[in-house]
A and B are shown apart, each in its own frame.
Chain A
Amino acid sequence: MASSSKLPQKRKQPDSNNILLKLSADERKLYELIESRKNVGIWTADMKRETGLPQTIVTKVLKSLQNKNLIKDVVNIHNKAKKIFMASKYEPSKEISGGLWYTPEGNLDILFINTLKDQCLRYVDRVKVATVETIWGFMKDLEVNEQKLFTVQPTTQQITEILDMLVLDKGLEVLKSSGTGDFARVAPGKVCYRRLKSHEDQTGALASIPCGVCPRISECTPDGIISPITCVYFNKWLGIDF
């Protein structure tokens, strides 16, 4: 599964020196401009402006450079319609590609994120207290045991980001190991993660009544048109037909 979870892969580098020598003047001009922008790349409109070449030539030259595998087009996650070109030897910066969590098409890889999230929680449930390294080891074992969940083994950086997100979701809590009890397998003082018991059964006082989420609360007054006596949200909540 998680076919969409391929991480950006390095492409095979062309023997660029030889090819560069054989480029036409326009090709060289454009290539040098694109190459100078390193891993940020450049937008076609900017190329036209900076080289002074007409649109037709730019389009033709870009095609030829792409065929020679010297440049590639990359998706800018901030503006997918704005086509960006970059020298093939560079990997797009995190700013352009969105980083580890984005598919080459520039979409957030939700499936990958969710799979990783579920696996982390499953592991912590099993061992009670986990560190980034133990989770990474667990993921690696999954791969070894032929349970191919991911096309690429998640990095420790990715696991840390997922764990931090789970802390924000209140699924996990982060603490320092005491080295005893449940923490016995983690060195004292080391940062580790533990399941945070869910409070779902205890909805907040205000959240569990209609007024807590009422869009009309500011207009609701005891003697007004909107009032608790005539309130339809109350009627619905109290199971009164209306």
Chain B
Amino acid sequence: MVAQQGLAHAETIVKSHFGEIVSKVVGCLLHRGSLALPEIVRFVRLPPPQVRSSLLVLIQHNCVQAFSIERPAAGLGGAIRNVTQYTALFYNILQRMRFTKFSAIVNADLGEQCEYLLDGLLQHGRLTFDQLAVRVTLKHPGGSSSVEQQVTIAAAVSHAERFCEIPDMGTNTIPNVKVTDHSPGVSVGDKRKRKAREVDNDGQATIAESEFLWRANFEKFVCCLKKKACVEHIKSRSGPNAGIVLEAMIESNHEQKAKDNNSVMSSMDDILEGVKVKPGGSSMTLENVRKILVEELGCRLSDEETEALHTINLKNIIETCQNDEVEALVVKRYGDEARRIFTLLAKKGIYENDQIHNAALLEKTKTEGILYKFWKDDYLDMKRAISSEDGRQKHNFLWKMNKSVISEHILNDMYHAAINLSQRATHMIEEDPELFAPYQNLPEAQRKLKIAQQTRWIVLLYSLSKIDDGLMLFLDF
């Protein structure tokens, strides 16, 4: 179940991207589950055309999915009719926070051309090949799409295919919607070739596509961000060379199709080849790489057919990253000594008071104080135990860490923090819509003030991006 603050966070994202009305509609779907159009209208108390348009925008941007179900029609003697239901895609809404991260990945991996195409998909949700072609033409003005340009686009799209996918059109109804255009000068609705096929009972226009629609493949991007998070973690823990080796290993993964995306398997030859082409990797020797694989990454060797493969499970690295995040919070909230107790209790098992203060080498009363705080904040489960010694009753407390509850709390707090950061940043823009207008001609004092305000806004946005990284970490990417 998604944390309450998570739903509110998704609503905030939609509000800041598409406005109040659309966010009301999505909020209704997020909180109440799948609904048909008349039900949504009843709950949000908005005129049906507004609700319909909102749904169309949300579907176009992959935030809501429409699907048909069969329902017995009232008063028609048991006749069955098709009803279109709408459901909010919570995780897709969260992805909207990551668009700049996705663009950066494509820019680094595939270059500017592909980034530009991706930006189109991210801005407009879904585009046809023709619409993508228009973007490229507009990007390089001075002629209609020449043969060379067509070739370039085709090549770029096929490269970008890793990051793009064609929406499943099995039973989906795809509405005819004029795309909300966020980029000046690009009219993406122009070249659509669509034929209306049917109109359902709710009076909603639905059409079937006569050609493929492209949209960004969020899963693939998140997978890249996961790789990046793992590499960054290893770099900070074991140095830049270990980061290079892990990156090369993931990129040459023999287990590309592994379902959980966690197991990585690679041969020494492939790793070496990958390492050599990385900046800073060309000077690394076979011995360096071998040492890192064994000592820093703790890789196991497994024999696949004739080839020896090094294997590593990214899940372990992700878990360490999660622990680091929780421990940083524990240190900040409760202090260094509390962290010592926390790491002890994070190991599986149930611990007695005495065991804890003995292992942590802390005063008994201090230990009890920390345990009490953890317990009050739901970090720990506690049980009273009575034992008898020399005929006397001895009271003791048993403590156990509640990891899943801690993760839930942290996730909820992260969603809450994200709402707070973005609300504050939005408020700054509302207070001063000219915040990012040129300030060179302003008097010195005002200029200083403006720079300070801009810096604050950037700090808020940077922190929001970091919180989003944390969210991905705790949502297991």
Which residues from chain A sit less than 8 Å from chain B, CB to CB? 40, 77-78, 95, 99, 101, 108, 113, 161-162, 164-165, 168-170, 178, 180-183, 196-197, 199, 201-209, 211-213, 217, 220, 222, 227-229, 231, 234, 238-240
Contacts and interface: CB of A to CB of B under 8 A. Distances in A.
A124 B76 CA distance: 82
Contacts of A180: 291, 294
A197 B234 CA distance: 10
Interface in B414-435: 414, 416-417, 419-421, 423-424, 427
A231 B456 CA distance: 14
B295 A183 contact: yes
Interface residues of B, number: 51
Contact of A206 (B359, B364, B470): B470
Query: Could you say which of A202, A227, A240 has the most chain B C-beta atoms within 10 Å of its C-beta?
Result: A202
Contact of A228 (B237, B340, B413, B424): B424
A178 B291 CA distance: 10
B414 A206 contact: yes
Interface of B: 236-239, 291, 294-295, 324-329, 331-333, 336, 339-341, 343-344, 354, 358-364, 390, 410, 413-414, 416-417, 419-421, 423-424, 427, 452, 456, 459-460, 463, 466-467, 469-470
B186 to A, nearest CB: 34
A203 B414 CA distance: 15
Contacts of B326: 204
5 contacts: A169-B343, A170-B343, A197-B236, A208-B328, A228-B419
B421 A209 contact: yes
Nearest to A209: B463
Contact of B324 (A78, A204, A208): A204
B192 to A, nearest CB: 38
B286 to A, nearest CB: 13
Closest 3 CB pairs of A and B: A204-B328, A205-B470, A228-B420
Contact of A108 (B325, B362, B413, B466): B362
Given A108-B363, A169-B339, A178-B294, A205 B325 contact: yes
A78 to B, nearest CB: 7
A221 B139 CA distance: 43
Contacts of B456: 238-240
Contacts of A231: 420, 424
A130 B327 CA distance: 26
A59 B460 CA distance: 70
Contact of A168 (B340, B419, B423, B466): B340
